[in-house]
Chains A and B, each alone.
Chain A
Amino acid sequence: MAQAKAKKLGVVEKKLVGVADVVITAAERSKDPALAIPVRSLANINFNAKRGIIEMGKRKQARTFFNVGMAKKFMQTVLVADALAELQRADLTTSLREIYYRTKHTMKGSHENTFDGQNESDPLIEDLEVTLAALREELHVRAENAGSIVGPVVLADDGDRVDCARLGKGGYSVPSIVEPEFIQIRRCTADFVLLVEKGTQWNRLSEDKFWRRYNCVLLTGNGQPPRGVRRLARRLHEEYEIPVYVLVDNDPWGYYIYSVVKQGSINLAFESERMAIPKAKFIGLSSSDADTYGLPRNVGIKLNDKDIGRAKELLRYRWFEKKPWQEEIKRMLASGLKYELDALANKDFRYLTKTYLPRKLREEDWLD
């Protein structure tokens, strides 16, 4: 195991050293050094309907050194590659922010900083991920632990046994790297995974021991779920063949969160392969729930211009082309209202646990 790991690290390091080789080879030939970076935008992704995931296209952009517009970015990319290689050699993991601090300094003989903010270094790490076809975990960069899990699952983390059924109502904080080399799933007896958008509802369900009663795993990513949470859901789904249900706010952003879990994101399309759960189901809130569950109009929020614009964009995405989805989104636009999960508390604090989810599950009322 340890040997396999060491070998794999060597591969990533080699890829990073390749960045230096690009510069050296170009300089030998008196050519402008250029890195071919796959384009990460809507224009360069394909929806593979057969596999149900978003895949990255083939378009690449050349980032050249001797171009006033790109010179700084090129230099920064090389610096980030250097910092990442340093991590590989020392076998350490770190955060995006630490990479920023590690690479920030004043350039010799000037008052100019290599980086002025973290917003300059973050996209470069993603650029390197796609360019070198190395996952962020493989690059040893982790995000903050921004998710929680509770339920009948037993994990092994650094040799520690973590029984998620015995961690009280706080649960286990999902690390950002959950690849099998780091986290092993020892056992899972749940019938399904419920991925909740917001921490509030996850806490409610955890406090009410909903997972025990309905034998499920409760996951949350506090908003847009981070990679660790998505990857863990995918592994539970794949390794234990249990369905994944997604519970989000009824607004365009909720829909998009669901679609990211299901098909992958536009920005990180190259990760879909590993992250997407094409069989995930949308359990709520649906724009029809207001009627079905008798939510009063006054707990809705008027859609603003941004919401409407985003909803119209979603209507055009190929993975929202299915008729029920078109109806779902158009119904929201027609009503002009959005609903937060929190609005269910208008009926009762435990309405979600006691009425809403049980009925949804019983009626199998979800969207695919």
Chain B
Amino acid sequence: MATELAKTVTAVEMGARQREISVSEFFTKNRHLLGFDNPRKALLTCVKEAVDNALDASEEAGILPDVVVKVDVVPTNGSPPPPASQATRFRVTVTDNGPGIVRQQIPPIFAKLLYGSKFHRLRMSRGQQGIGISAAGMYAQLTTGKPVQIISRTSARSAANFFEVSIDTKKNEPRIFESKKIDWEHPRGTQVTLEIEGRYQKGRASVDEYLEQAAIANPHVKLVYLTPESETREYPRTIQELPPQPKEIKPHPYGIEFGMLLRMLHDSKSHSLAGFLAGDFSRVSPALAAEISKSAKLSPNARPRNVHGEDAEALYKAIQATRIMAPPSNCLSPIGEKSILHGLYKQIKGDFYTAVTRPPAVYRGNPFVIEAGLAFGKGPEQAAATADAPAVPLAEGEQHGDDSELARVIRYANRVPLLYQQSACATFKAVLETAWKNYGIAQSRGALPAGPLVIFVHMASVWVPFTSESKEAIADYDEIRKEIKLALQECGRRLGVFLRRRERAKTEFRRRNIFELYIEEVVEACARLKGGKLPKEKLKGQLHKIAMKRTGGVRTDEILGRNGGPEGLPHSIIVTLEGTEGAAPELPSAVTSDVAPQEEPPVEIDEPTAAPKTKGKGKTKAAKRKKR
């Protein structure tokens, strides 16, 4: 009976069940789409969204960002807090020195999905859709029931606003629990606090890794990270100026799809088709607009609103068939070779660093810039340590352990580190496709190159094509992959030059060395053969003389000399025990104020930090314990 009933549902009854789905409800059910698949990733996503927003806001307002990230363990049901690795509940607090948010905008920004300033304009920024931070808030609400807490202050003259908000998931509207004016120690900025369920685990794709990588790509940011294990990690600012402000641009005609064109035609404020084309798109001059109208067999004076159906289709085809200049690239703000170098040098120990920024290119009408960088080696101190280590000679069959670690790829889109779905990412594919063997780096088929190598790839674009909403991997467009490969090849070429140069110096050294070693052996053996009746020192002297002559003597010293420099290696740093070559940044010494960085008396050394030290430069870094 029941089945028969089910069969006879009428269209009216079905109609009664059909209703709108709120975006918030949709995302509540599909939170993995936004990067909240599991507790560990959720913790990372929350930190990431808050930091992205902080940086975007500060940069847009022209403020050098100071960001403090604090992750605390929250004790559950009154018991003392468990160790960070066991904890399941965390409080994430991100504080910036940005412009602050005006009072009435605070609730929608933090508690309304798809609300933001970045979606509707073509300009490079970290965030794109206006989902991130409100989704993080929704996740908090879902797992702990706690609302998002916001403190924001726009200037020292006004009071700070304190809010507690959460999302009404049905209506996708903010619900305000608390709203008051408070005193805040910071003159300006925003602080977000989220209480969420999560897991803190170090290693790959952790919060630690994310912040470290963010510091590499954003050397103009001063970042302080208070870990759940109550450590303080500081990533100092090494570039004292903001990256140039990216300009907002109009869409390029090649980049729009047909439906988009229809909407633009409908919404246009222009009164003529030619005016619409020239006014609403970039790189379309009035002359070009007339040409497009002509080839579409439409009147340049037609009202845009009246162009639809077949006419619109003809227009769309005409646009695709016309040669139009590539979009302007001033909407992009690449990190720049110098900053990448500084970032890598600051965070990764190595012997060689290089960076390449490609000229702008275009995919689907969207301009983009690819940047790549390399950090190679283990740092001179460690290399020297391992060279000294094997104090015992090798037994038969033993070999000097050249550990087969694979290169690490660090990926960025608009300065944001991408930590998940590496193998789905265009950058990763480009790294695999680059023939690293040509540059003296081992690489097995279909694998990452092997060696102590960190490969940095950054894509800057007004619209980065991600493979999913959680922004984890860059989609594989041919144009993008080609640019990445070109950048990597240039980096690889420079690395090859460096390696060959170093190898040559080594062989020259070894050449001289072997003869010295072997002369000793040969003379001893000859003396024994002659029954001990041999003036050993005389023979040794004679042989040494021949060796000197054969290996070029003084000339070898010149080849071995330090005048090799990074010539032919633009935008590169070479680090040796003797010092650095190339434009290495002066790592800031531990000073507690940004105002007067110089003329501080030597600070006492608290503990060594992770950042590389440059021997012979006399700068010693001391970790700063106190936070201002």
Which residues of A does B touch, CB under 8 Å? Answer: 16-17, 19-20, 23-24, 27-28, 30-32, 65-66, 68, 71-72, 74-75, 78-79, 81-82, 85-86, 106-114, 116-117
What residue of chain B has the Cβ atom nearest to residue A117's Cβ? B396
**Which chain A residues lie closer than 8 Å to B393 at the CB level?**
106, 111-113
Q: How far is the CB of A6 from chain B (nearest CB, A)?
A: 17
Q: How far is the CA of A116 from the CA of B530 in the complex (A)?
A: 26
| A23 (CB) vs chain B CBs: closest residue | B526
CA gap between A71 and B514 in the complex, in Å: 8
Could you say which of A28, A31, A75, A112 has the most chain B C-beta atoms within 10 Å of its C-beta? A75
Please state if B546 and A79 are interface contacts (CB–CB under 8 Å): no
The one of B394, B515, B529 in contact with A81, judged by C-beta atoms closer than 8 angstroms, is B529
Minimum Cβ distance to chain B for residue A290 (Å): 43
4 extra A-B contacts, CB within 8 A, seeds A27-B542, A30-B549: A30-B546, A72-B518, A79-B525, A114-B521
Could you give 28 example pairs across A and B, Cβ below 8 Å? A20-B534, A23-B539, A24-B526, A24-B539, A27-B539, A27-B543, A27-B546, A30-B542, A30-B545, A30-B546, A31-B546, A66-B515, A68-B511, A71-B515, A72-B518, A74-B522, A75-B518, A75-B521, A79-B521, A85-B528, A106-B393, A107-B517, A108-B517, A108-B520, A109-B520, A110-B513, A111-B391, A112-B517
Most chain-A Cβ atoms within 10 A of its Cβ — which of B392, B513, B521, B530? B521
| Chain A residue with Cβ nearest B511 | A68
CB distance from B439 to the nearest CB of A (A): 25
Closest to B526 in A: A20
For B521, give its contact among A27, A81, A107, A111 (CB under 8 Å): A107
Does A116 lie within 8 Å of B526, measured CB to CB?
no
Q: Which residues of A contact B390 (CB under 8 A)?
A: 111
Nearest CB on B from A206, distance (A): 38
A17 vs B235: C-alpha distance when bound (angstroms): 69
**Which 9 A/B pairs are nearest by Cβ-Cβ distance?**
A20-B529, A27-B542, A20-B526, A75-B518, A106-B393, A82-B525, A66-B550, A78-B525, A107-B517
Q: Specify the chain A residue showing the minimal Cβ separation from B523.
A: A23
Across the interface, name the chain A residue whose C-beta is closest to B393: A106
Which residue of the partner chain, among B396, B518, B529, B546, contacts A16 with CB atoms under 8 Å?
B529
- When chains A and B are docked, how far (Å) is the Cα of A65 from the Cα of B511? 12
Known: A20-B530, A30-B546, A72-B514. A78 touches B394 (CB 8 A): no
A113/B546 in contact, CB under 8 A: no
Query: How long is the Cα–Cα vector from A78 to B518 in the complex, in angstroms?
Result: 10
> Counting CB contacts under 8 A, is B298 at the interface?
no
CA distance A28 to B539 in the complex (A): 8
Please give the distance in Å from B514's CB to the nearest CB on chain A: 5
What 1/0 flags go to B381-408 for Cβ under 8 Å of A? 0000000001111101100000000000
Chain B residue nearest to A81 (CB atoms) is B529
- What's the Cα separation between A72 and B520 when bound, in Å? 12
- Chain A residues within 8 Å of B534, by CB: 20, 24
CB contact between A17 and one of B391, B507, B530 (< 8 Å): that residue = B530
Q: Which secondary structure characterizes the binding site on chain B?
A: helix
Partner of A113, one of B394, B522, B545, B547: B394
* Residues of chain B lying within 8 A (CB to CB) of residue A31: 546
Give bound CA distance, A66 to B547, whole Å: 7
Assess A66 versus B546: contact at CB under 8 Å? Given A16-B529, A85-B529, A106-B393.
Answer: yes
Assembly CA distance A113 to B546 (angstroms): 24
Given A23-B539, A78-B526, A113-B394, A32-B517 contact (CB < 8 Å): no
- Distance in angstroms from A193 CB to nearest chain B CB is 39
Q: Which residue of A lies closest to B513 (CB)?
A: A110
A75 to B523, CA, bound (A): 9
Which of B543, B545, B547 counts the most chain A CB atoms within 10 A? B543
Query: Whole-angstrom distance between the alpha carbons of A114 and B514 in the complex?
Result: 11
When distances are taken between beta carbons in the complex, the residues of chain B under 8 Å from A65 are: 518, 522, 543
Range class of the B interface residue count: 20 to 34
- A79 neighbours in B (Cβ, 8 Å): 521, 525
Known contacts A27-B539, A66-B515, A116-B396: does B526 contact A107 (CB below 8 Å)? no
CB of A45, distance to nearest CB on chain B (Å) = 31
Q: How far is the CB of A77 from chain B (nearest CB, A)?
A: 9
Write the nearest CB–CB distance from B154 to chain A, whole angstroms.
66
The 8 A CB mask of B503-520 against A (1 = contact, 0 = none) is 000010001011101101
What residues of chain A lie closer than 8 Å to B391, measured between beta carbons?
A: 111
How distant is A297 from chain B, measured CB to nearest CB, in Å?
Answer: 41
CB closest chain-A residue, reference B398: A116
Shortest Cβ gap from A244 to chain B (Å): 39
Query: Which residues on the A side are within 8 Å of B517 (C-beta)?
Result: 107-110, 112
B residues less than 8 Å from A24 (CB atoms): 526, 530, 534, 539
- Interchain CA distance A79-B523 in the complex, whole Å: 10
**B521/A78 in contact, CB under 8 A:** yes
- Closest chain A CB from B389 CB (angstroms): 10
Q: How far is the CB of A202 from chain B (nearest CB, A)?
A: 33
Point out which of A24, A32, A86, A117 has the most chain B C-beta atoms below 10 A from its C-beta.
Answer: A24
Which of the residues A19, A71, A75 comes within 8 Å of B529, measured between beta carbons?
Answer: A19
Q: B528 to chain A: which residues have CB within 8 Å?
A: 82, 85-86
CA gap between A81 and B524 in the complex, in Å: 12
Which chain A residue has the least Cβ–Cβ distance from B391?
A: A111
Q: A67: nearest residue on chain B (CB-CB)?
A: B550
B525 x A81 contact (CB < 8 A) = yes
Residue of A nearest to B550 (CB): A66
A-side contacts of B520, CB under 8 Å: 107-109
* Cβ-neighbour of B522 out of A17, A78, A86, A116 (below 8 A): A78
* B394–A82 CB distance below 8 A: no
A81 to B529, CA, bound (A): 8
Shortest beta-carbon distance from B86 to chain A in Å: 46
Bound Cα distance from A204 to B417, whole angstroms: 75
From B397, B511, B513, B522, A23 is in contact (CB under 8 Å) with: B522
Residue among A32, A66, A79 having the largest count of chain B Cβ atoms under 10 Å: A66
**Which of A27, A31, A114, A117 has most B Cβ within 10 Å?**
A27
Could you say which residues of chain B place their CB within 8 Å of the CB of A112? 393, 517
Q: B residues within 8 A CB of A81?
A: 525, 529
**B residues near A30, Cβ cutoff 8 Å:** 542, 545-546, 549
Docked complex: B481-523 residues within 8 A CB-CB of A: 507, 511, 513-515, 517-518, 520-522
Residues of B within 8 A of A109 (CB): 517, 520
B553 to chain A, nearest CB (A): 13
Give the shortest distance, in Å, between A314 (CB) and chain B (any CB): 35
A127 to chain B, nearest CB (A): 15
CB distance from A164 to the nearest CB of B (A): 38
Nearest chain-A residue to B507 (Cβ)? A68
Give the docked Cα–Cα distance between A354 and B74 (Å): 92
With A and B bound together, what is the CA distance between A86 and B550 in angstroms?
32
- Within 8 Å CB of A82, what residues of B? 525-526, 528-529
Cα of A71 to Cα of B510 in the assembled complex, Å: 12
Q: How far is A209 from B522 in the complex, measured between Cα atoms in Å?
A: 56
Q: Which residues of chain A are within 8 angstroms of B511 by Cβ–Cβ distance?
A: 68
Query: How far is A31 from B546 in the complex, measured between Cα atoms in Å?
Result: 7
Inter-chain CA distance A364–B518, complex, in Å, is 60
Asked whether A28 lies within 8 Å of B542 as measured between CB atoms, the reply is yes
**How far, in whole Å, are A113 and B398 apart by their CA atoms in the complex?**
12
Kindly provide the distance from the CB of B544 to the nearest chain A CB, expressed in whole angstroms. 10
Smallest CB separation, A12 vs chain B (Å)? 13
User: In the complex, A32→B547 CA distance in Å?
Assistant: 9
Q: Whose C-beta in chain B lies nearest to the C-beta of A86?
A: B528
Does A75 contact B396, Cβ atoms closer than 8 Å?
no
Interface contact B546-A75, CB-CB below 8 Å: no
Tell me whether A68 and B394 are in contact (CB under 8 A).
no
| Chain B proximity of A111: nearest CB distance (Å) | 5
How far apart are B153's CB and chain A's nearest CB, in angstroms?
64
Q: How far is the CB of A3 from the nearest CB of chain B, in Å?
A: 22
Minimum CB–CB distance for A271 against chain B, Å: 25
A27 and chain B: residue at smallest CB distance: B542
Question: What's the nearest-Cβ distance from chain A to residue B34, in Å?
Answer: 56
Q: Report the bound CA distance from A101 to B483 in whole Å.
A: 57
A-side contacts of B539, CB under 8 Å: 23-24, 27
